Amino acid sequence: MYKKIKLFVASLLLVFPFSGQSQGLIYLSAVPTAWRLQNYIPNAVVLYYTGSNCAQGILELSPSAVDADKNRLYATIMAAKASQLSVYVYYTQTATQCVIQSFGFNP
């Protein structure tokens, strides 16, 4: 199953290539053991101390993110913390925030 996921992601990158420079995306990869994962009511998930360029290393999902996106982010980070696996995050940075565009496990 894991190999199928890797193949799928690799094929997506071939079909939809992107670079941090051309689209303003910033790449971050780490084992998130020191990251703080916080849920704010009513429904916002925020990552702190990620090493991103934003204040306190804050990364957050877009306000348009649906519950399934928030649940996947939470599950991905918790699984990586528990298993000591590396994750990646692509994000954009504005003057006021860093917004997650894509995330997942590193192969």
pLDDT, one tens digit per residue, over 19-76 is 333 358 999 999 999 999 998 878 888 999 999 989 999 999 998 899 999 999 999 9
CATH among 2.40.50.50, 2.40.30.170, 3.40.50.10860, 3.40.605.10 for 20-105? 2.40.50.50
Q: Which of 28, 12, 6 is nearest to 87 (CA)?
A: 28
pTM listed for this prediction: 0.73
CA–CA gap between residue 9 and residue 94 (Å, rounded):
27
CA–CA gap between residue 105 and residue 80 (Å, rounded):
8
Kind of pairing, strands 98-105 and 59-61?
A: parallel
Task: Tell me what pLDDT residue 43 has.
Answer: 80
CA–CA gap between residue 105 and residue 76 (Å, rounded):
7
